[in-house]
Amino acid sequence: MKNNDVKQKEPIVTHIYTADPSAHVFEGKLYIYPSHDLDITMESNDNGDQYGMTDYHILSLEDNNTTCVDHGEALHIKDVPWARKQMWAPDAAYKNNTYYLYFPARDKDGIFRIGVATSPNPAGPFKAQENYIEGSFSIDPAVLVDDDGRAYIYFGGLWGGQLEKWQTGSYNPDGVGPDSSAPAIGPRVAELTDDMLSFKSAPQEISIVDEDGNPILAGDEERRYFEGPWMHKYNGNYYLSYSTGTTHYIVYAMSKSPTGPFVYKGRILNPVVGWTTHHSIVEFEGKWYLFYHDSSLSGGEDNKRCVKFTELTYNEDGTIRTIDPYK
């Protein structure tokens, strides 16, 4: 792979703004499923109104030294019957000889839901289901198809992602986060049905604890879950990695089970230029890579980001070495 030897990592594409990269190896290539940031200047707010995305473009990298291919528009919001605005961070999965694109958007009532679209090709175009996944809410879906064929979807994000509003199991527009001394809100996980289009049962909250088994608290902003979950497996362990939002780290926790509880382990990526940080982790041709974004391409505008990647390495005990994006 190129880019690994340069200190200032380069964006994988510069003709469009991209963010929230979910990387997978499909058909021997690296496919990247990012958000497609609009080329507009917007003031940032805590509700995320500056992220007004309307479509997805899928990117691919063949191997060493190939340029990244933009496969064009794979899905537009006008072709998603239930969605009104803000197509945020997507993910993709392969099963049943079909590619599935999972994506969040606000529905007609302004509530974030998660939809799914299908295609025979990893680069799309994708055809959306008529309605969002029943029982879905919030943002940032990430799907793991486990070695036994069972598939799990992880999701959830605070603030604009509305996760605070779902603590009772139904939508409370006035819902706020817990006190700083109470356990933090966890991401959600649901097993997917065999056709990958529905939840098998109601989503469960994932517990993230410290090395002593105590829950990470809401006030522990350097470790608590904020948004952008990713799940990968290495040497039989499950790694849940995520953004800490307000403190701008990508951190991770480990478990022997895909549904946890997960034990907090440490930082993967130090803060990048721009408010958000969002990543994925993938193995390709015997090496592990971290895909992430920053706002360097736009000179620091939060809503105009660019996807980058770098190599990720493990220590002997399976812990991950922290990456500084600019060293």
212 flagged as catalytic: no
Tell me, yes or no, if 55 is annotated catalytic: no
Distance CA 304, CA 251 (A): 23
Q: Looking at beta carbons only, is 89 or 123 nearer to ligand FUB?
A: 89
Of 12, 13, 22, 35, which lies in the binding site for ligand FUB, with binding defined by CB under 6 A? 35
How far apart (Å, rounded) are the C-alpha atoms in residues 83 and 119? 19
Of 70, 205, 227, 294, the one binding ligand FUB (CB under 6 A) is: 227
Q: Give min distance, CB of 106 to ligand FUB, in A.
A: 12
Instruction: Enumerate residues 6+ apart whose C-beta is below 8 A from 184.
Output: 178, 208, 215, 216, 217, 218, 220, 224, 225
| Of residues 90 and 263, the one with the C-beta less far from ligand FUB | 90
Q: Which of 138, 241, 276, 296 binds ligand FUB (CB under 6 A)?
A: 276
Which distant-in-sequence residues (6+ apart) come within 8 Å of 170 by Cβ? none
Question: 120-132 burial, b if ≥16 CB within 10 A, otherwise e?
Answer: eebbbbbebbeeb
Q: How far apart are the first and last CA of the chain?
A: 18
Which of 12, 13, 19, 269: binder of ligand FUB (CB under 6 A)? 19
Tokens read off for 105 = 């958007």
Distance in Å, CB of 62 to ligand FUB, minimum = 26
Q: Which amino acid is at 301?
A: E
Q: What is the contact mask toward ligand FUB in residues 105 to 144, using x (rule: CB under 6 A)?
A: ----------------------------------xx----
User: How many whole angstroms separate alpha carbon 101 and alpha carbon 237?
Assistant: 25
Q: Is 308 in the site for ligand FUB (CB under 6 A)?
A: no
- Catalytic residue chosen out of the listed positions 91, 140, 227, 301: 227
Using CB under 6 A, list all residues that contact ligand FUB: 19-20, 35, 51, 88-89, 139-140, 157, 227-228, 276, 278
Catalytic residue ranges: 20, 227
